[in-house]
Structure 1
Amino acid sequence: MDLTILYRGPLASCDYDCPYCPFAKRRDSREQLRADRAALERFTAWAAAQSDDRLSILCTPWGEGLVRSWYRRALVELSHLPNVRRVAIQTNLSCRTDWLSDADPDTLALWCTYHPGQTPYDRFRAKCADLTRRGIRFSVGIVGFPDHLPAAHRLRADLPAHIYLWVNAPENHPLTDAQAAAWTAVDPLFAYSRNPHSSSGIPCRTGESVISVDGSGTVRRCHFIPAELGNLYDGSYRAALRPRPCPATSCDCHIGYVHLESLPLYDVFAGGVLERIPATIPPTPPTAVSPA
Structure 2
Amino acid sequence: MNLSILYRGPLASCNYDCPYCPFAKRRDPPEALRADRAALRRFVDWVSTVSDLTVSVLFTPWGEGLTRSWYREAIVRLSHLPHVERVAIQTNLAVRTGFLAAADPAKVALWCTYHPGEVTRQAFLERCSGLGVRYSVGVVGLPEHLAEARALRRDLPGDVYLWVNAADGHTYDADAEAAWTAIDPHFGFSVRPHDSLGAGCRTGETVVSVDGDGTVRRCHFVREPIGNLYDGTWRAGLRPRPCPNLTCDCHIGYVHLRTLPLYDVFAGGVLERIAALR
Q: Same fold (TM over 0.5)?
A: yes
Matched residue SS, 2:269: coil
AA of the residue aligned to 2:40: L
Identical aligned residues as a percent: 65
Q: 1:162 aligns with which of 159, 164, 170?
A: 159
Aligned partner of 1:35 in structure 2 is 35
In 1, Cα distance between the equivalents of 2:221 and 2:30? 28
For 2:140, the equivalent position in structure 1 comes to 143
The one-letter amino acid of 1:186's match is: I
Q: Which runs of 5+ in 2 are unaligned?
A: none
User: Which residue of the other structure, out of 189, 202, 205, is the alignment partner of 1:205?
Assistant: 202
Residue 10 of structure 1 corresponds to which residue in structure 2? 10
Question: What is the CA–CA distance in structure 2 between the aligned matches of 1:190 and 1:55, rounded to whole Å?
Answer: 29
Q: Distance in 2 between matches of 1:253 and 1:74?
A: 25
State the match for 1:48 in structure 2.
Answer: 48
How do residues 123-138 of structure 1 correspond to structure 2 at under 5 angstroms? Answer: 123-131=123-131, 134=132, 136-138=133-135
Letter in 1 for 2:143: P
Instruction: Tell me the residue number matched to 2:258.
Output: 261
Corresponding residue of 1:193: 190
Give the Å deviation of 1:93: 0.3
Question: Using the alignment, how far apart are the partners of 2:154 and 2:178 within structure 1?
Answer: 18
Q: How does 1:84-95 map to 2 (within 5 A)?
A: 84-95=84-95
Equivalent residue number for residue 67 of structure 2? 67
Give the distance between the partners of 2:51 and 2:123, measured in 1 at CA: 40
State yes or no: 1:153 paired with 2:150.
yes
Aligned to 1:251: 248
Aligned to 2:211: 214
* Structure 1 segment 210-249 matched on structure 2, within 5 A: 210-249=207-246
Structure 2 counterpart SS, 1:186: coil
* 1:92 maps to amino acid: N
| C-alpha distance in structure 2 between counterparts of 1:49 and 1:119, whole Å | 40
Q: Which stretches of structure 1, 4 residues or longer, exceed 6 Å deviation after superposition?
A: none
Instruction: Tell me whether 1:175 sits opposite 2:172 in the alignment.
Output: yes
> SS of the counterpart of 1:55?
strand
| SS of residue matched to 1:227 | strand
195-204 vs 118-127, which moves further: 118-127
Q: CA deviation at 1:207?
A: 0.5
Of the structure 1 ranges 120-129 and 193-202, higher mean CA displacement relative to structure 2 is found in: 120-129
Cα distance in 2 between the residues matched to 1:170 and 1:279: 24
CA RMSD of aligned residues (A): 0.6
Displacement after TM superposition at 1:12 (Å) = 0.1
TM-score, normalising length: structure 2 = 0.99
Alpha-carbon separation, structure 2, partners of 1:46 and 1:72: 17
Secondary structure in 1 matching 2:153: helix
Q: For the residues of structure 1 that align with 2:111 and 2:253, how far apart are their CA atoms?
A: 15
Kindly state the Cα deviation for residue 52 of structure 1 after the two structures are TM-superposed. Answer: 1.4
Structure 1 residue 257: Cα displacement = 0.1
Please state how far the C-alpha of 1:271 moved relative to its aligned partner: 0.6
TM superposition shift of 1:280: 1.4
Q: What amino acid sits opposite 1:43 in the alignment? A: F
Deviations 1:142-180 (A, max 9, x none): 000011011111111111000000000000011111001
Which residue of the partner structure matches residue 181 of structure 2? Answer: 184
Residue 169 of structure 1 aligns with an amino acid whose one-letter code is: A
Aligned-residue offset at 1:122: 1.3
Which whole-Å deviations, capped at 9, do the CAs of 1:41-70 have from their partners, x for residues lacking one? 000000000121000100000010000000
Q: Offset of 1:128 from its aligned partner? A: 0.8
Gaps of 5+ in 1: 282-292
